[in-house]
Homo-oligomer: A and B are copies of this chain.
Amino acid sequence: MARRIVVIGGVAAGPKAAARARRVDPEAEITLLEKGPLVSYGSCGFPFLLAGLVDSLAPLRSTPAGVLRDEEYFWREKRVRVLTGTAAEEIDPERRLVRARRAGETLTIPYDRLVVATGAVPRRPPIEGLDQEGVFGLHRPEDAEGLRRALAPRRRAVVVGGGMIGLEVADALAARRLQVTVCEAAEHLLPGLLDRDVARLLESRLGAMGIQVVTGEPVTAISREDGGLRVRASAWQGEADLVVVACGVVPEVDLARRAGVEIGSTGAIAVDERQATSVPDVFAAGDCCETTHLVSGRKTWLPLASTAGKQGRVAGTNAAGGEERFPGVVGTAVLQVAEQNVARTGLGEEEARRLGYRVVTALVAGTDTPHYYPMHAPLALKVVADAASGRLLGAQAVGPGEAVKRIDVLATALACGATLEQAAHLDLGYAPPFATALDICLHALNQARNARDGLARPLSAAALKALMEGPRPPLLVDVRTPAEYEAHRLPYPALAIPLAELRDRLDEVRQQVLPGQEIVAVCEMGVRGFEAQRLLDAAGLGPSRYLEGGIWAWPYGLQDG
């Protein structure tokens, strides 16, 4: 008899599992249940629908050949029976049945193998006034359609939540010429994804693109006043014509939990490498289940469509009698906002420290392609490694330059357990349209090695700011050219001596520096600062330090002209 495979959930992991199961087992009877009216839509495309880059829901629901992925498509092309508007209400693992509700009737669907792909639902933050006109979410297709209709230039929008979806929505709204404010409860944007220093750099870039950022302000209430909406946080409050709430999602595990499926410490469904749950012949995939973080070795929950697709494929293979394993993730996440590419993988510095690693880091700035190539753009890249073993732990990047390629390369190195030494010698593709001869990611890895070996003594922007505003500020030596210094500089007194003249003008430094005062070399992107630090150290003026990432990566405002 044909194997009966039932899949619960029709957005990302579910359809993938069903389609893969069909390719592995042409004879299986495959049924997919989806409680909503649509299946297999690219919800990651909603922000681009809002931005006007995608003109309707149809492309998000279609194959590249333009065929709509509806019930008929799944039946005719995949021989998968899709039941939309069908909410699974109970899994009976003893009898191997799913009970579902469809148009008021109860269906009883037997299975031999079950794939749970119930996804995640928006987290509902404790905010008064969420359920009123003008307040939107962005989870279901109808949310996207509703919000899109509310967009008009010059309207004021507040986005509650500075996570990935919040920022993608903010970007879309700014592209549609709304006045956008992002209000984030945590101390910085993308908490849990970026370290504070990288997040601050991103924040410093958003204002220029018309996105105001408020951090450390949990929104408590939204009320209607004088024809508009008033958004109240702890100290901040603002007016808006519309509010988008994007406070993250939580795994939808109720159905599985009631069936006796083990829920992991992350709150998502526990699965093994085969995507098998604790209940025989029940698999789980996608946003409802947890996975292994390959760097920390711990269980993690990072709901992303890319992971959902891979897990769906593995669950579908195994449900169809094949053999496939999903090893886990390294925590890669990327987005584009205000023409900034933002990307991270692995562990952040703060996260690594919390896990007990003694870390070495490097933050470098540079261009993605050679400065002489017209289409070059800058970015900052931070790498984090374990000082003891040299093992790479993570990386983060932000800037208009091509950041995602570098993060993908480092994600690959992370998955393979590479050390700084191994990764620094990677044979990456070089030609001027694509990269510099020594790619910025190799430069960052080398700089982390220099820091670990005591050759480089980098100072972060935050640390320099704290020192400059503290009781014993260091002596700043700005080693850029006079033209660069004239254009903009740090908002502190500095000795301006171009690197080319520093060797001949060391006496000026000696005259200025106070006994016991530390010297910090400053340049545009960090490279000359490091050279200057080596030079000052060799001249007996050390141990000095240099501003990592240079003035380009300084997020606290510069003095112009």
Contacts and interface: CB of A to CB of B under 8 A. Distances in A.
B430 A334 contact: yes
Contacts of A341: 433-434
B310 A425 contact: yes
Given A26-B538, A310-B425, A404-B405, A45 B372 contact: yes
A425 B330 CA distance: 10
A373 interface: yes
A128 interface: no
Interface stretch (A208-216, A232-240, A499-507): A499-507
Interface size class of A (residues with CB under 8 A): 35 or more
Contacts of A411: 426-429
For this chain, the copies found in one complex come to 2
A522 to B, nearest CB: 13
A76 B501 contact: yes
Contacts of A310: 425, 438, 442
Contact of A416 (B22, B306, B416): B416
A152 interface: no
A558 interface: no
A455 interface: yes
A304 B431 CA distance: 9
B500 A428 contact: no
**Residue among A408, A417, A530 with most chain B CB within 10 A:** A408
Contact of A429 (B343, B417, B427): B343
Contact of A54 (B325, B372, B499): B372
A412 B426 contact: yes
**Which 5 pairs across A and B sit closest by C-beta, in order of nearness?**
A26-B538, A416-B416, A334-B429, A306-B430, A59-B372
Interface of A: 12, 22-24, 26-27, 42, 44-45, 48, 53-54, 59-60, 62-67, 72-73, 76-79, 164, 168, 294, 304-310, 313, 325-336, 341, 343, 345, 367, 370-374, 404-405, 407-409, 411-413, 415-418, 421-423, 425-435, 437-439, 442, 446, 455, 480-481, 483-484, 499-501, 503-504, 524-525, 528, 530-531, 534-535, 537-538
